[in-house]
Amino acid sequence: MTEISPIQAEDFDRLFEIEQAAHLVPWSMGTLQNNQGERYLNLKSSVQNHIAGFAICQTVLDEATLFNIAIDPVCQGQGIGKALLSELIKRLREKNVATLWLEVRESNQTAKRLYDRLGFNEVDIRKNYYPTPDGGRENAIVMALYL
């Protein structure tokens, strides 16, 4: 069973491991730690007391932006990402947030399918938004969920 709870300071080493394994161009530890605080709703997903994924979400007034979501590649395909994002959406609704925004790599079809299933709408494309490991750039699809 997946348990979802707020991120704690002692979680960062594990979150950083997941970040490095799950993303083409991962965040640094500093970026991960700097995206915390009272304007954030950051959650982790644990399976048998072992962190399997996390979500970093900033809230400003009645809008929120999902900055990062990562699931340990070993745990992907088990519904952990869907459970984590569903819980985040539930908690944002409880805070009277009206819209959840995110960007997703154009090539990340697995994530895009998840967002589609959860009701997100494609709003725009940001050309050359994401860096790629080979020094190039990739488009981002901007998506929104109206809560």
- The mean of the pLDDT values for the chain is 95
**What is the extent of the structural domain holding 103?**
2-146
Q: Can you give the pLDDT at residue 132?
A: 86
How many domains would you assign to the chain? 1
Q: In sequence order, what are the residues at sequence separation of 6 or more whose Cβ sits closer than 8 angstroms to the Cβ of residue 35?
A: 42, 56, 58, 67, 68
Question: One of 115, 130, 138, 146 is an active-site residue; which one?
Answer: 115
141 known ligand binder: no
108 known ligand binder: yes
80 known ligand binder: no
The answer to whether 19 is a known catalytic residue is no
70 known ligand binder: yes
Q: Can you give the pLDDT at residue 97?
A: 97
The answer to whether 103 is a known catalytic residue is yes
Q: Can you give the pLDDT at residue 79?
A: 94
Strand-pair partners of 56? 68
The CATH number of whichever domain residue 41 belongs to comes to 3.40.630.30
Mean pLDDT value across residues 91-97: 97
Residue tagged 């959406």 (tokens): 89
pLDDT tens column, 28-54: 999 999 999 999 999 999 999 999 999
Question: One of 103, 122, 130, 146 is an active-site residue; which one?
Answer: 103
